[in-house]
Amino acid sequence: MKYSKEYVTKEEHIDVQGIMDGLYYPFYMEYCRHQYIDEVLGFNLENEAKNGVNMVLSGYTISFLRSLKKGDTFTVTCELFRDKGDAPKIHFKQSIILNGKVTTKATFTGTCVPATGGRPFLPESLKALIEEAPVLED
């Protein structure tokens, strides 16, 4: 299921060139991804952390295709994928879209770890949802 949220570029995120600083693109993707994780997957990051389960990123790749400018209204998408090798990982493909064109695309990979330390794992509640997700192909 593809999920999306709309955002407006904030003035404080604009650099001296009049475009959004590259640092902020992943932040907008994070806002969308966290809402997706909560609203669609039913995994509330704050509650889970209080219960000793931390969802963390293990990596991401990002490609910048076009720049956003001050005041742009854009859409961020998020879609869940399961790991090809059945590792305890989840993948999120995300895009930033402005006027029907992709400006940025990324894949974020995450897992869960016990707050006290230990090996990566996926809680049973997430495993059931991930079984329905498509496999992330390279």
Coil, helix or strand at residue 41: coil
Q: Domains of the chain (ranges plus CATH)?
A: 2-130 (3.10.129.10)
Distance CA 130, CA 95 (A): 20
Query: Can you give the pTM of this predicted structure?
Result: 0.94
pLDDT confidence bin for 18, thresholds 50/70/90: very high
Distance CA 55, CA 126 (A): 11
Quick one: how far is CA 99 from the chain centroid?
21
- The pLDDT assigned to 129 comes to 86
Please say whether the beta carbons of 62 and 25 come within 8 A: yes
User: How far apart, in Å, are the Cα atoms of 65 and each of 62, 68, 104, 119?
Assistant: 10, 10, 6, 36
pLDDT confidence bin for 35, thresholds 50/70/90: very high
What would the mean pLDDT of 8-30 be, rounded to a whole number? 96
Residue 137, pLDDT > 90, answer no
What would the mean pLDDT of 80-109 be, rounded to a whole number? 96
